[in-house]
A and B are shown apart, each in its own frame.
Chain A
């Protein structure tokens, strides 16, 4: 089992406290469950918990515009994506297989850019987890020892 990587904000960074609204967190989790589902099914809950905490910090620090992009993307996904497969219910209420189908269909509509916005933000964080990095074959060795990402992966692997 790999350890979740720590956060190391610069000394000059402000302290921020912003919580993701519950409906937004609910939709983001449902989207992430579908996005990162493998042939074995959705990823485990602990990885999703870590992902959402990191995304929350990301949004808190990235400011109004990033929050607006993410919230608008999630709103569009939650309300419109299910309609593309003829299911008039919010996205999180669909089975994860149906969610995948709905998101794929939605991505090809004129509102499809919303999928890229949401997907980009989640993937940026997801693939930094040592376990995800290992799954895609990234060993962090391109970074000299002592630098955060490689050392985080090495430390995680030793546990």
Chain B
């Protein structure tokens, strides 16, 4: 059976394979598929459940949060010093975070790849060298441009405001096929139109003999001397879905693809020690801006994400359209009691747009209660100064488009701000803790590099000083990208998988 559930196995579970891949998200699915296609016996272990398209479609957003998202969507990076506490959302399901993204696909910008070459000694990652990997990923993901008829009215309004600054939005590229724009991509596509890895990669791995196990939590890598010989953890077959039987896997090669959030804790528990392990985590701190117009916007009609602007990259800002489900918007409407209810009742008139900061790494992944990751984030002074900049930019753009009321991402407001009140608001002196900030892009906590003192893994993803132990996920990216990272993660995973494929086992 290609798909199995740990819940269907009572007691302990012992398995063997050539390559065990820990995590079934964008990176794990890519490396598992590429290695299965090369003839390796591949086993994929996923902590979350397996959910098919019909089941995604049957769930309300809050049901999706409880079954598909890590921590029900309430993972946080605790702000240190004058930094915001950041809500970080990730998938915990077969398909990982590819199930909960808006499907946005960007190639890694050339200037970022040039930095990797220049500052991290990653000569195989130059723009020209990476092109074949992006081509390969785009072929399987079915990356296409969102046509303007899929833009929501909310996006068109923001575009109108931006044009008054002499800038126009560009259409995003997304991994979709036959999308009708129902606006709930991040709660699992009910129409199999978003080509998440459960559709675009894992079936190909399964067809070549790979087995994908859900409800299996890996806690550590088994090492014999310096050599990885498998993994161990727990099968989540206990009462209430808690850890039950012991999980032991014998493997010739171990690939950790648990995400920048989880991978450092697995490596540390395995005895891997390194000064930068778990450090320099980048998040792309993100901010949403809502604005009320006189007209009915009904921003939920259209693709959840459809357009962007990189015109402000020199200021470290990328603007990306987003319109989240109304229940989630309701949660961010200011006020308590009648103020809140009256704001929510005007939701039809509300437009929304988002932006993110191309940040320096200020996050640290530590081991928290129950062995779960505990993450802190200290924002650099440069990025701290960018917070009011991005909030002003988003709000003023909506005002230029004719917005009558602005709902900035600020905690403790009883109601929206009039145009004059918004312009007069002292965002620069607002404490960072009062900014409402979120992230969907944790990266860089086990980075690759050519210097063993400054990186956890070598340029091929091998953990320095270990044999047959690889890291292949967002944690290996040495810097933040300034754009949504799914395609970059998959292209790097493809590159590392192809290198691995050609290398004999130790």
Contact = CB atoms under 8 A, between A and B. Distances in A.
Interface string B43-62: 00000011110010111111
B421 interface: no
B336 A34 contact: yes
Interface in B201-255: 214-215, 236, 240-241
A119 interface: yes
Contacts of A2: none
Interface in B296-342: 296, 298, 300-302, 326-328, 330-333, 335-338, 340-342
A14 interface: yes
Contact of B66 (A35, A57, A141): A57
B330 A107 contact: no
A89 interface: no
Nearest to B296: A137
A124 B341 contact: no
Nearest to A103: B336
Interface of B: 5, 7, 49-52, 55, 57-63, 65-67, 69, 71-76, 85, 180-184, 190-191, 214-215, 236, 240-241, 296, 298, 300-302, 326-328, 330-333, 335-338, 340-342, 344-345, 347-348, 369-370, 372, 411-412, 414, 433-434, 436
B191 A144 contact: yes
Contacts of A65: 71-72, 74-75, 372
A123 interface: yes
Contact of B331 (A38, A104, A123): A123
Contacts of B7: 12, 14
Contacts of A123: 327-328, 330-331, 333
Contacts of A63: 71-72
B67 A138 contact: no
Nearest to A62: B72
A21 interface: no
A143 B184 CA distance: 8
Nearest to A123: B331
Contact of A126 (B63, B184, B330): B330
Interface string A47-71: 0000000100111111111100100
B326 A133 contact: yes
Nearest to A135: B345
A66 B59 contact: no
Q: Among A18, A110, A128, find the residue whose CB has the most chain B CB atoms closer than 10 A.
A: A128
Contacts of B49: 10, 12-14
A42 B72 CA distance: 27
A9 B52 CA distance: 11
Contacts of A15: 240-241
Nearest to A11: B55
Given A9-B63, A128-B62, A69 B411 contact: no
B214 A148 contact: no
Contact of A13 (B57, B67, B296): B67
17 contacts: A12-B214, A13-B49, A14-B215, A35-B340, A36-B340, A37-B341, A58-B65, A63-B71, A69-B76, A108-B412, A110-B433, A124-B330, A127-B327, A128-B62, A135-B344, A136-B330, A147-B58
Enumerate the 9 nearest inter-chain pairs by beta-carbon distance, A residue then B residue, closest first: A62-B72, A14-B241, A123-B331, A127-B327, A137-B348, A100-B337, A66-B72, A61-B66, A12-B49
A149 B60 CA distance: 6
Contacts of B344: 127, 135-136
Given A34-B336, A63-B71, A135-B345, A147 B51 contact: no
A62 B326 contact: no
Contacts of B69: 62
Contact of B338 (A37, A103, A119): A37
B63 A137 contact: no
Contacts of A66: 71-74
Contacts of B336: 34-35, 100, 103-104, 107, 115, 119
B230 to A, nearest CB: 25
B71 A62 contact: yes
A17 interface: yes
A44 interface: no
Given A69-B76, A103-B336, A138-B326, A125 B341 contact: no
B240 A14 contact: yes
A17 B74 contact: no
Contact of B347 (A60, A121, A136): A136
A59 B298 CA distance: 30
Contact of A16 (B241, B327, B347): B241
B50 A12 contact: yes
B72 A61 contact: yes
Q: Among A7, A57, A143, A144, find the residue whose CB has the most chain B CB atoms closer than 10 A.
A: A143
